[in-house]
Structure 1
Amino acid sequence: MNRSTVDVTFVVGYLAVAIGLLVARSNPATTYEPSIYTGTPMITWVTFAVALAIAVGMALTCRGREQALGIGLGAITVTGIVSLPVIRNYRFAGMGDALTHLGWTRDIVAGELAPHELFYPAIHSIASVFHYAGGIPIERALLFSMVITFVPFLIFVPLVVRELTGPSMAIGAAAIVSWMVLPINNIATHMGVHTNSNALFLAPVVIFAVFAYLRRRATIERLPLGLSPFSLLVVLSGIGLLLIHPQQMVNIVVLLGAISSVQYIVRRRSDDHPILDHPTMYAHTIVLGVVFGLWALSNERFRDALLILVVGLLTEDVGSGAEVDQRGSSLTEIGGSLGELFVTMFLESAIISLIVGVFVLLVWLGRTRLAPEAKSLVNYLAISMVPLTGMFVVYFVGTPTMAFRQLGFIAVLLTILAGVAISRGVGTLSNYVSRPGGTAIAALGLSICLVLGLMTVFASPMIYDPGQHVTDQKFSGYESGFEHADEDLPHAGMGYDPYRYDHGLNGVEGDGTLSGATVDSGTVDSEAFEDGDYADAYNGIDYYFIMTQYDITRELGVYQELYYSEDTLEEFERSPEANKVISNDEFRMYVVSSTE
């Protein structure tokens, strides 16, 4: 392809993504959207597809400046997709932990909470700066923070692979795999204001600092006390990760511990090995481990989480088996299956894992032509998978949610290794077909996986989890409900506990009754509600019943009336026991009188 053709192709690609973003911006969300995919105009997705198709081809076939432009095009497009809640003017996105993070940010802005009093204050602090400096609403500031922490993932994955090995094919392949956003699984990691998930996207920054320290000799630019600037970069980036979320910093400490162990063993047993030329990671492992220990053990939240994990390991009823069986049976009742859900959510991850697994096995068997230096770095990452996977198993037995967060970090390492694995695979394939043919096959396979990955970046009914779009009307309904309600009556949701909204609206640092909430809250018993025992569906007392458009979409549309039926909700509307007190297009609240 000649230079002018390449330039025209890039113009088309960048123009396409610009048009897609402008169209998305011109069509803001005006009501609750169960799926941001269907809510976003089709022309946006068409232009994004054109841009990504060009980016994939250029990232794999070009070198130097042209490859950088191709990777940049893909990164901008994927960042645009991740930024759609901001671009399309969502009031907020996220109805679980995100609302609690919103509440903590409100507390910081109001001066009721100092950032250092939080276990992981970075996201909240960044949002506070946006709020103060730009005068933007706190909700939008948090969405900006989510995008800002995502971008380094797209930048540093190819940079890490460039440090690991030289071929441009590996760098391009790694960039494409990073666009799949494998760390997001929508079980315990989410694309939104979720600090554990946000921290995953900063992990490649620390890994890049580690590889830079191992490979580059800072003989000229020394710091005082003989410190290397790369050494300092490892520590500072690790501490930065700690402030976003400590669990992912623990994984970095485990990674450094694995590298240190390999270095120690090689130094004891070999006199001629590339690892002998690497500076040791002993000090970094100890320093970051001590920093984490001092930070974590002084925090009550960490101690409580550790206690929950231990209890989960020692008891039979806190584990994954019963939860998986229950969800599997529920999916079957609405016409789905765990197998179908796995294919939808994890097929591309499974394919990438298989490719990386075969590649690592070939490296250990000595069947690859990797340079000794690159092989050593691959071994560092591959061997670290052993303790990291062991932690996944422990979490899976004790607290399954933590296990899938652990899986997110493992996916970060798989993303990095996948670039090298695919590059070597294309080289092997070229022995049987031409080099362009091997590259075309790789481009096709990666494109399919890219589509599968981007289809599940956000929650949607396709994975039986409607989007958690929070509209102005929903916020307004909850705000009025909390402000004007009788303080003696609890608030009950339809399968969703309203206390998270109390966090988001009123802050977390209150003297409330539940996790810092200022109202008593819970959920109604679906079986009693379906039987028409509305008054007895919540502990046999008077209560406020809250129904939102999200609840109706989830229960009637996605769950297909598995727990609540449309007929029951219509009967409830006519029931003398229920009196509507607040109503708008997205929110309804009723006073339900008990029979006592």
Structure 2
Amino acid sequence: MSTQSAVDDDLFRKVALVVGFLAIAGSALAARANPATGYELSLYTMTSPFVWAGLVVALAVALAVAFVPSSGTSHTRGTQALALVLGGVVMVVFAGLPIIRGYRFYGHHDALTHLGWARAISEGTIVPFDLFYPGIHTVTVLINSALGIPLSRSLLFVVLISVLVFCVFVPLCVGTITQSQQAAAIAAFSAFLLLPITTISMYLQAHAMSQAVLFSALLFYLFVKYLRVDRTSASVSAIGVLFALTATATVVYHPQLVAHLIAVFIGISVVQYVARRFWSRGRIAGQTPMYSVTLFFIALFLVWTANHGFFSGMLEYFFESVIEYFFERGSGGEETIATQGTSLASLGGGLLEIFLKLFFPQLMFSLLAGGLALAAVVFRRSPYVSSIRAETTYFVTALVALVPLFLIYFAASGATMYFRVMGLMMVFVTILGSLVIYGLSTRYANRRQQSPSTSRPLLAAGFAVLLTLSLVAIFPSPYIYNASPHVSDAQMDGYGTAFETQADDVGFIGLRDGPNRFDDAINGNAERMHLHEGPPEEGLNSRLAEQYDGDRYLVLTQADRERETIAYGELRYSEAEFDSIATQPRVDRVQSNGEFELYWIRGNDNRN
């Protein structure tokens, strides 16, 4: 290609990047100019189409510039790096939409309890060490104190920071392993898929385990760097110190993650020991051993959990669950799956449909990682397999080590925490999948003696499809038969007023544990609130006053109504039931602000 053509090509790429950055800036401004005015059932449908158009344009530019090669290698490297920055900014805007659009808070259930604990730490009613995993709460208070941002908004920033950590350190990890910018680019867009987030026990909202798993990408980057430490230069390295500090931060974020990592590093240590004993001249034998790191993780976990009774309680719980599952014909994860399948069938959906919506990108990357592991066993004498880097063996070992934990969680009755193990597994799958894609694309070009111009546009198209399928299911919405956990100003203020004016000895009734969690969020309870009740099994239109001996408050919000009637298709509560509340005898509305209604139910012992 002529010099003039190369200059034109480089100019075109730069102009495209300018268009991409302008598009993402316009998208953020459009989102900011159209804040939420009330509860939003779906962040996707209630966000302006101009926002999504800007995100799509910016992401398309990032993919095209990152993977479609130009005539000049030096220019390509520079513009490709800018394309990765552009893609990262797209992810920041996407993940930060609840912040940009002015949400009061985003997250129900555990997220509301975490907000309350952060509030309690800020007010001094509890200290961080009273909590089992005070990581996200202390960071929230730090942001609140340093920047003056409200606690509810500061906690949303903690969630956003964890996404940023994951999207930065996954490509850095792969780039360190391969020493290839192209591999790092593939890993960056793989990270943008956010495979650990499944909306089942792993969320893009305040949830300690979710943030800990995303944060672990930094730990694995330091792990890869630690393997390359020159052990002859110093007994203690800077990377080793950073690795220890990050491990300590991980246990503060969530000790359960550290318990899983212990299994991972024990597996890696075993692999290293076997390699050193039988293949002393191999690549693994020449790397820094992880024995001391594994012992450090074990000691760290035991010291942190000693005062919380977590270790003994966890072992007892899982031991009893496994015994029940195998010897008493108990039911574990399959019962949950069957129940969800029945509910989906009632809504006109099915398990296959929801599986593909939630897990198709995870399935594709899992097949790539599984294919790599299978190839290493079946074709172990192949020159291609023998050239696979040692770190690949470690990450495959990590997946194998986590399988027993996944099965134990699956056997535990009434639990979906096996998706937490799956979330951690997806971190390794993201890295392995990136390495496989890089290896296959490079091998394809080399075998056919072709330039990258043939295979890389296919990568761009493939990632465009996977990113669309993945990101459309990151936030809960009716698309996945769920409702947004958006907490509006009216909803939070309504609960605040209700708790402040609550009569003595009169409890609350609310749907799906709502009053308990909002009680945590507003009052900063040291222990989770379990005093408030749910509606009777007969439903909301069952003459509520006759179902209770004493007086009760009944809370109904706009979020409750839209969740039950639209997202859940009146599976449990119908529109008619909601409408019947106002006309029932001995049920009086005492508070309303448009999105929050509080009713006084005069029970059987108070018929006046």
> Among 580, 583, 604, which residue is 1:595 paired with?
604
Q: 1:551 to 1:432 in 2, by over 3 A?
A: farther
Structure 1 residues 330-345: aligned runs within 5 Å? 330-345=343-358
Q: Please say if residues 375 and 385 of structure 2, whose CA atoms lie closer than 8 Å, have aligned partners that are also in contact.
A: no
Q: 1:293-334: CA deviations, max 9, x gaps?
A: 111132145654544333332334562222221221111111
Determine whether 1:560 maps to 2:573. no
> What is the match of residue 72 of structure 2?
none
1:244 aligned residue (253, 256, 270): 253
Counterpart residue number, 1:103? 116
CA distance in 2, matches of 1:121, 1:65: 41
Verify: 1:52 aligned to 2:32, yes or no: no
Verify: 1:485 aligned to 2:485, yes or no: no
Amino acid aligned to 2:225: A
Distance across 2 between alignment mates of 1:33 and 1:127: 25
Which of 130, 139, 142 lines up with 2:152 in the alignment? 139
Segments ≥4 residues shifted beyond 6 Å? none
- Who is 1:198 aligned against? 211
Match of 2:16 in 1: 9
**Structure 1 partner of 2:553:** 544
Range with bigger deviation, 401-410 or 252-261: 252-261
Task: Find the residue that maps to 1:496 and give its secondary structure.
Answer: helix
Q: Which amino acid aligns with 2:19?
A: V
Counterpart position of 2:458: 441
SS at match of 1:201: helix
Q: Is the 8 A contact 2:109 2:514 kept in 1?
A: no
CA RMSD across the alignment: 2.0
Match of 2:428 among 397, 409, 413: 413
* Structure 1 residue 433: Cα displacement: 9.3
C-alpha distance in structure 2 between counterparts of 1:385 and 1:359, whole Å: 12
3-state SS, counterpart of residue 506 of structure 2 = coil
SS at match of 2:454: helix
CA contact (8 A) 2:133 2:251 kept: yes
User: Normalised by the size of structure 2, how large is the TM-score?
Assistant: 0.92
Name the residue aligned to 2:544: 534
Q: Does 1:207 align with 2:220?
A: yes
Matched residue SS, 1:525: coil
**Which letter does structure 2 place at the counterpart of 1:319?**
G
1:10 CA displacement: 1.1
User: Using the alignment, how far apart are the partners of 1:318 and 1:547 within structure 2?
Assistant: 34
Which residue of structure 1 lines up, in the alignment, with residue 183 of structure 2?
170
Q: Which residue number in structure 1 is paired with residue 82 of structure 2?
A: 69
Separation (CA, whole Å) in 2 of partners of 1:556 and 1:271? 65
| Unmatched tracts of structure 2, length 5 or more | 1-5, 70-75
Q: 1:512 maps to which residue?
A: none
1:109 alignment partner, SS class: helix
Cα 1:527–1:41 shift into 2, 3 Å: same
Q: 2:281 aligns with which of 252, 261, 272?
A: 272
The answer to whether the 8 A contact 1:466-1:558 is kept is: yes
Q: Which residue of 1 aligns with 2:46?
A: 39
**2:267 partner amino acid:** A
- What is the distance in 1 between the residues matched to 2:179 and 2:566? 50
Task: State how 1:460-499 maps to structure 2 within 5 Å.
Answer: 460-499=477-516
- 1:275 positional shift: 1.3
User: What is the identity, as a one-letter code, of the residue corresponding to 1:256?
Assistant: F
**Kept in 2: contact 1:156–1:208 (CA 8 A):** yes
Who is 2:3 aligned against? none
Alpha-carbon offset, residue 375 of structure 1: 2.2
2:418 alignment counterpart: 403
Shift of 1:497: 3.7
Report how many residues are paired: 584
Aligned partner of 1:320 in structure 2 is 333
Relative distance call for 1:290 and 1:383 in structure 2 (3 A) is: same
1:113–1:565 Cα change, 3 Å: same
Q: Partners of 2:512 and 2:127 in 1: how far apart? A: 33
Looking at structure 1, the residues matched to 176 and 268 of structure 2 have their Cα atoms a distance apart, in angstroms, of: 16
CA separation of 1:307/1:581 partners in 2, compared to 1, >3 Å: closer, same or farther?
Answer: farther
Cα distance in 2 for partners of 1:579, 1:408 equals 46
Tell me the distance in 2 between the aligned counterparts of 1:375 and 1:188: 33
Looking at structure 1, the residues matched to 493 and 381 of structure 2 have their Cα atoms a distance apart, in angstroms, of 63
- CA separation of 1:363 and 1:166: change in aligned 2, threshold 3 A: farther
Query: Structure 1 residues 69 and 261 mapped into 2: Cα distance closer, same or farther (>3 Å)?
Result: same
Q: For residues 352 and 136 of structure 2, what CA distance do their matches in structure 1 show?
A: 35
2:405 is aligned to: 391
Looking at structure 2, the residues matched to 576 and 462 of structure 1 have their Cα atoms a distance apart, in angstroms, of 38
| Residue pair 1:164, 1:374 contacting (<8 A) in 2 also | no
Could you say which residue in structure 2 is the equivalent of 1:352? 365
Say if 1:59 and 1:371 are closer, same or farther in 2 by CA, change over 3 A: farther
Deviation larger for 23-32 or 398-407? 398-407
Greater alpha carbon shift after TM alignment, 238-247 vs 87-96: 238-247
Change (3 A) 1:85 1:367: farther
Contact 2:115–2:155 (Cα < 8 Å) also in 1: yes
Provide Cα deviations, 1:8-32, integer angstroms capped at 9, x if missing partner: 1111111111111111111111100
State how 1:215-230 maps to structure 2 within 5 Å.
Answer: 215-217=228-230, 222=234, 226-230=235-239
**Which stretch shows the higher mean deviation, 448-457 or 353-362?**
353-362
Q: 1 CA distance for matches of 2:589 and 2:46?
A: 30
User: Structure 1 residues 573, 368: CA separation in 2 closer, same or farther (over 3 Å shift)?
Assistant: farther
Whether the 8 Å CA contact 2:132–2:308 is kept in 1: the answer is yes
Amino acid at match of 1:313: V
- Aligned to 2:145, the other structure's residue is in SS state helix
Instruction: Give matches, 1:117-132, under 5 Å.
Output: 117-132=130-145
Cα distance in structure 2, aligned partners of 1:516 and 1:51: 43
CA distance in 2, matches of 1:307, 1:478: 38
Query: Counterpart of 2:199?
Result: 186
Counterpart residue identity of residue 57, structure 2: V
Q: Give the match's secondary structure for 2:513.
A: coil
Contact persistence 1:127–1:138 (CA under 8 A): yes
Q: What amino acid is the match of 2:434?
A: G
CA contact (8 A) 1:130 1:141 kept: yes
Q: Distance in 2 between matches of 1:416 and 1:376?
A: 13
1:295 aligns with 2:304: yes
Query: What per-residue deviation string (whole Å, max 9, x for no partner) do you get for residues 408-465 of structure 1?
Result: 0000001111111111222344346954222222221121011111111111111111
Q: Distance in 1 between matches of 2:480 and 2:511?
A: 20
Q: Structure 1 residues 419, 246: CA separation in 2 closer, same or farther (over 3 Å shift)?
A: same
Distance 1:192 1:54, change over 3 A: same
Deviates more, 1:183-192 or 1:375-384: 375-384
Q: Distance in 2 between matches of 1:336 and 1:405?
A: 25
User: In structure 1, how many angstroms separate the alpha carbons of the residues matched to 2:410 and 2:138?
Assistant: 32
Query: Any conservation in 2 of the 1:218–1:230 contact (CA below 8 Å)?
Result: no
The answer to whether the 8 A contact 1:297-1:303 is kept is no
CA–CA distance in structure 2, aligned partners of residues 28 and 368 of structure 1: 57
- Counterpart residue number, 1:231: 240
Q: Normalised by the size of structure 1, how large is the TM-score?
A: 0.94
CA distance in structure 2 between the partners assigned to 1:117 and 1:106 by the alignment: 14
Percent of aligned pairs sharing the same letter: 32
SS at match of 1:581: strand
Are 1:500 and 2:507 counterparts?
A: no
